[in-house]
Amino acid sequence: MTSGQPLGGGREPTLTIAEVAERTGLSHDTLRYYEKAGLIARVGRTTGNQRRYEAADLAWLEFLLRLRETGMSIADMQRFARLRAAGDATVADRLAMLREHRAELAVRMRALRRSAGSLDDKIRHYEGLLGGSERPGTGEPA
């Protein structure tokens, strides 16, 4: 029996774990960890048991990265992934989760803008102390 075939027939193009790591910026280990944790469903394998990711896997991973970037915990992503796997009946629950997460994000972004303002104030304060001889871009006095 030949091995290394991309599943039962080799229909659409698939990606190795190295290719997915490259495209997502995640490490091989993290990709396997996410799968083990149930964030992504078990990925298809070659007859030799090596992962072959499909376009849909990549799209889902990229959405997970949006959730991660906006501060969602692994535990919450697991919840979301479980709902998703359970099918259409959970759409309302998923929507509720996303709305809640989005609202928390809005709060954090407001806090972040306030803090960024404090930073700017402090930066201006230090610039004042240095007598305005400092410009961004060059560390050299004129």
Which residue number, 12 or 120, has a Cβ lying nearer to its own copies? 120
- Does position 73 interact with its own copies (CB under 8 A)? The reply is no
| Member of 24, 38, 50, 134 binding DNA (CB under 7 A) | 50
- Does position 63 interact with its own copies (CB under 8 A)? The reply is yes
Q: According to CB under 7 A, which residues from 16 to 45 bind DNA?
A: 16-19, 27-30, 32-33, 36, 45
The stretch near its own copies (CB under 8 A) out of 9-17, 31-39, 48-56, 88-96 is 88-96
Bridge partners (DSSP) of residue 45 are: 51
The Cα–Cα gap between 122 and 111 comes to 17
Q: Which residues of 70-100 are buried (b: 16+ CB within 10 A; e: fewer)?
A: eebeeeebebbbebeeeeeebeeeeeebeee
Bridge partners (DSSP) of residue 15 are: 53
The Cα–Cα gap between 42 and 94 comes to 21
Q: Which residues bind its own copies (CB under 8 A)?
A: 63, 66-67, 69-70, 88, 91-92, 94-96, 98-99, 101-102, 105-106, 109, 111-113, 115-116, 118-120, 122-123, 126-127, 129-130, 134, 136, 139
